Amino acid sequence: MRPATATRWDVGFDDPMRDVEHGGRLLLADPPSSMRSTFAARGLTVDEVTLRPTGSPRRERGARHQEAVAPESRPWPFADAVFDAVLIPDVLAHVIDDRHVIREAARVLRPGGMLAVRVPYRGPLAWLDPPNVYRYISDATRRGPNPPETWGIGWRRHYTRRELDRMLLDAGFGVRRVTGTGIGVAPLLDLVSMLIFRWLLPWEPVYLATISATEEVARVERRVSLGPAGYWLTIVAERLPDAHAGDG
What's the pLDDT tens digit per position in 146-184?
Answer: 777 777 777 889 999 999 999 999 999 999 888 888 888
pLDDT, average across residues 179-205: 90
CA-to-CA dists, residue 100 to 103, 113, 118, 130, 155, angstroms: 5, 18, 16, 25, 18
Dist. CA 238–CA 78, nearest whole Å: 19
For residue 2, being part of any structural domain is answered with: no
**pLDDT above 90 (res 190):** yes
Residue 25 lies inside a defined structural domain of this protein: yes
- Residue 224: the pLDDT is 77
Predicted model pTM: 0.83
Q: What is the mean pLDDT of residues 132-137?
A: 90
Q: Above pLDDT 90, what percent of the chain?
A: 38
With respect to residue 162, please indicate whether it lies within any of the assigned structural domains: yes
Average pLDDT of the chain? Answer: 81
Number of domains in the chain: 1
Count CA atoms within 13 Å of residue 64 on its CB side: 7
Q: In what order do the strands lie in the sheet with 25-29?
A: 45-49, 25-29, 83-88, 109-120, 232-239, 173-181
Asked whether residue 1 is domain-assigned, the answer is no
Any domain includes 10: no
Q: Looking at residues 110-119, what average pLDDT do you find?
A: 93
Query: Hey, how many other C-beta atoms are within 10 angstroms of the C-beta on 209?
Result: 12
**How confident is the model at residue 182, as a pLDDT?**
87
CA dist 84 and 27 (Å) reads 8
Question: Residue 72 maps to which CATH number?
Answer: 3.40.50.150
In a domain, 159, yes or no: yes
**92 is in which domain, residue-wise?**
15-239
pLDDT tens figures, 71-97: 557 889 999 999 999 999 888 998 888
